[in-house]
Amino acid sequence: MSDTVSNEITIKAAEIYNQEMAQGAAARFFGLDLIPGKKLSNALGGYAAMVEKDEYVLYLYDATDLGSAKDGFLLTNKRLFFKNFLQGAFFIEIGKILDIIHKPSILSPSIAVRTEPEGGMISITLSTLTGEKDGKKLVNVLNKTIAFLKNSSTASTGNTDQTLAQAQSGRAVVCKGCGANYVTGSKICDYCGAPL
């Protein structure tokens, strides 16, 4: 990917983030340069270990109580990586995301990622400390950014990256229920309950 294209994407992502979050920053949702180094390295050393060299991080959400960012999600220009507490690490390609829906709840707020072509629904848990307002904002940021990435020629729709990622992990499986790429060993999809 050329530097010009990557600059265009990061500038746009920063613009979307600043528009939505300016009125009250969500303490757990970080954009670009605002992502704390320790959280980023925990995510990249954990559930998002498959981020590649030509892929760059746009946003990180820390779902943990203690702030380690070992659970949560991370959006790159190509994929959404995510991990819920005590569940496996997954990713889904940007090109396969239809949209993201906010599911506010006092006890267990979450976002639901609607995927194609399976018509699946992946549930990602938010921290209970992310209130309805901030949850709505972060979902707006994600939807706007994903729409932009899908329209730009650089978004991954395809099999090349997936095949590469699978080759790297050696055992990634695509869930037939929701389309998520399951990268740890299990019999049942943590996100939609479908057998793998």
Q: Which residues bind Zn ion (CB under 5 A)?
A: 175, 177-178, 189, 191-192, 194
| Least distance to Zn ion, CB of residue 22, Å | 35
Q: Which is nearer to Zn ion, 124 or 192 (CB)?
A: 192
Q: Which is nearer to Zn ion, 172 or 178 (CB)?
A: 178
| Least distance to Zn ion, CB of residue 60, Å | 22
Q: Which is nearer to Zn ion, 146 or 189 (CB)?
A: 189
Q: Which is nearer to Zn ion, 113 or 178 (CB)?
A: 178
| Least distance to Zn ion, CB of residue 124, Å | 12
User: C-alpha distances in angstroms, 138 versus 28, 75, 152?
Assistant: 10, 12, 21
| Least distance to Zn ion, CB of residue 175, Å | 3
Q: Which is nearer to Zn ion, 59 or 191 (CB)?
A: 191
| Least distance to Zn ion, CB of residue 87, Å | 11
Cβ contact 140:19 at 8 Å? no
